Structure formats: structure tokens, C-alpha cells
Amino acid sequence: TLPFDAETQTLILDKNQIIKLEHLEKCKNLMQLSVANNRLVRMMGVAKLTQLRVLNLPHNSIGYVEGLKDLVHLEWLNLAGNNLKVKYLVCCICQNLV
């Protein structure tokens, strides 16, 4: 298991060959999440992180943007270097972050 709990505010999981985001719902106060340079294909798991302000997911294999609707505090999103299929959706999301 990973050393995080409800009080964790920043979680950096870069370069760990992670395929799926699991058990993040335990991190009720998570404000910053970085899972760069892994093997993620989906963004499942981020939707429950309602306090998230920074989401850093570059250089994975993510194909679709999902799970951001409830992240009302999100200020910064990085999906560079992924295999995004719906670029229009990404533009709309970026406009909402401004």
C-alpha cells in the first residue's frame, strides 16, 4: 500500500509504471496529484478528488478526457504527451480553467 491518507495534500507518483489510479478516494484533502510518465490509459479515479487544484498527467497513454466535471477547484491541468482523441473537449475544459 501507498503511504497516503485523508490528510495527504500532495501526491507525486511519477515514473512508476502505473496503469490504473486506484484507492485515491481515501485522499479527501488531496490538492495536487502528479502521475506523469506512467502507463495510464484512463483518468478514472480523479473524479472523486473534489479538492484537487493541480492535476499533472503528462506522458501517459490517456485517450479521453474524463472525470473533470466535479473538480470545481481545478486550476491547472497537464495532459501533454498523451494519445488524446477528443481535442475539442480539451479546449473546452481549458477555457473553463481560466
Q: What is the pTM of this model?
A: 0.85
What pLDDT sits at residue 5?
Answer: 83
| Distance between CA atoms of residues 28 and 6, nearest Å | 5
Structural domains in the chain, sorted by start = 1-98 (3.80.10.10)
Over the stretch 7-24, which tens digit does the pLDDT of each residue have? 999 999 999 999 999 889
Predicted confidence pLDDT, tens digits, the chain (98 residues)? 566 788 999 999 999 999 999 889 889 999 999 999 999 999 988 999 999 999 999 999 999 889 998 899 999 999 999 999 865 455 555 555 55
Half-sphere exposure of 88 (CA within 13 A, CB side): 0
What pLDDT sits at residue 86?
Answer: 63
Contact (Cβ atoms closer than 8 angstroms) between residue 78 and residue 55? yes
What pLDDT sits at residue 87?
Answer: 54
